Structure 1
Amino acid sequence: MPLFIISLIIQIALIVHIIKTGRNTMWIWLVLLVPLVGTLAYLIVEVLPDLSRSRTGIHARRGLTNTFNPNRDLNQATELYEQADTVAHRMLLGRECLNKGMYQDAREMFESSLTGVHAEDPDLMLGLAEAEFGLGNPVRAKELLDELIRLNPDFKHQEGHLLYARCLVSLEQWDEAEHEFEVLHTYYSGPQAKYYFAQLLEQKSEPGRAMDLYQEILKTADRNRHYRSLNKPLITETKAALKRLNKGLH
């Protein structure tokens, strides 16, 4: 059977699958206009994750979906909020705004939700603290985090801990920040804690300890493909920081 016929059959089968399963019609145009790329993308993003709900499959779906429709999650969160102005929808939209660096919008979502029975909600308080930090208000962010822990002493969140340590750095409370990072970097799942800790050590003129942390990040990235793919920009920055330090020591 000619290759053209096989390709056409695959395209038709995928288009039928797209329509039957209610997928975004964007996929139809992608499969028709760029058959090879469109077919591979659709299989990886839509079909494989359905067959296997593995962490890798889900990550691939998110990555490619963001490439083709980078504002999908934000748009969906906005639609939900417009359909029903609930605290849950505000929180979701606030999170998506944070992901996009829309800190003023995020602040409005979280701040307006901290009322009534939700006045002491730790997730809302954390979201507001993240928005304040993104807006360049580390003092206010730290105040919110201190209040969060006072009201919710059992609340544990690695992103909240990282944010608190970064607030201390921004406020030039070096010793307190180092104490937080000493604990944080041992359990934080990504490279961010080690990276920001290394930056702090550079500021404190401790290049040797900073280099050790940068090297730990790169060693983990070499061993763990998933870790590497999730943190590509930060790993690139880590390589640049390590190169700069090595140059300064020679």
Structure 2
Amino acid sequence: MYWIFILFAFPALGSIVYLLAEVLPSAAGSTSARKAGAAARKALDPGREARDALVQIEISRTPGNLRRAAAALLATKRADDALVLAREAASGAFAEDAAMMFTLAQALYETGEFGEALTQLEAMQTAHPDIRHPEAHLLFARTLEALGRIDEALATYASVADYFPGPEARARWAMLLDVQGDTVSARARWQEILTAARHAPKFVQRTNRRWLDMARLKA
């Protein structure tokens, strides 16, 4: 019960430690729990994963290690560095590997290369027509929005929101509806987020606080 001392001594840090020590183990089998655990660990040491991944590249510069390092750099907002590694990872025999293609598309998006990001996502869809990848689907919607293809972006947000784990896809859909002046539809999407959240475990609500707080303001 070491977390009790931390909780009282350092309330913010203690809450994270409590989440790791007490809440997540009881729900460790769920996807949401795994994501919440990863988020908590990143909050404790946001740069650790990137540091470890870069060390692994020095040991062995494999496509897998390159992709993991690129993803870790993206998580710490080092998109330019991530793009260099992602391009190297998604080359040669791994040019059509789904994980490599997605990480490269992420890096392209985060560096503002929206046209190339869209091309990469379309190539991923062609190479893997049966793949179910909610994160890539959401990135596709965001890329269409960034390129000003609003009608296509709205349709894609509507599609991915039906199965994306968590409220982010529906929230981004609502945000775009708001920007387009469709406040009635946007408010309905925000309300859907709040309705779903009422049935979600507390740790899931904490993980998605950004989107839930936004929904409470907008609904």
Give distance in 2, aligned partners of 1:145 and 1:222: 34
Question: Which residue is 1:90 aligned to?
Answer: 66
Structure 1, unpaired ranges of 5+: 1-9, 11-30, 243-250
Give distance in 1, aligned partners of 2:47 and 2:67: 17
**Residues paired across the two proteins, number:** 211
Deviation at 1:105, TM superposition (A): 1.4
Identity of aligned residues (%): 23
Give distance in 2, aligned partners of 1:145 and 1:240: 33
Deviation at 1:206, TM superposition (A): 1.0
Deviation at 1:186, TM superposition (A): 1.1
Task: Map 1:50-89; keep pairs closer than 5 Å.
Answer: 53-55=28-30, 61-89=37-65
Give distance in 2, aligned partners of 1:233 and 1:213: 15
Distance 1:140 1:35, change over 3 A: same
**If you compute each CA radius of gyration, which structure gives the higher value, 1 or 2?**
1
Q: Is the 8 A contact 2:36 2:207 kept in 1?
A: no
Give 1:118's aligned amino acid.
F
Give distance in 1, aligned partners of 2:88 and 2:126: 21
Q: Please, what TM-score do these two structures have when normalized by structure 2?
A: 0.82
Q: Which has the higher contact order (CA 8 A, sep 6+)?
A: 2
Task: Map 1:122-141; keep pairs closer than 5 Å.
Answer: 122-141=98-117
Deviation at 1:97, TM superposition (A): 1.2
Give 2:203's aligned amino acid.
H
Of 195, 198, 201, the residue aligned with 1:219 is 195
Distance 1:47 1:170, change over 3 A: closer
Q: Please, what TM-score do these two structures have when normalized by structure 1?
A: 0.73
Q: Is the 8 A contact 2:36 2:203 kept in 1?
A: no
Distance 1:221 1:91, change over 3 A: same
Is the aligned partner of 1:177 residue 2:177? Answer: no
Deviations 1:76-99 (A, max 9, x none): 212211111111111111111121
RMSD: 2.9
Structure 2, unpaired ranges of 5+: 9-13
Deviations 1:153-201 (A, max 9, x none): 2232111111111111111212211221221111111111111111121
Q: Is the 8 A contact 1:141 1:167 kept in 2?
A: yes
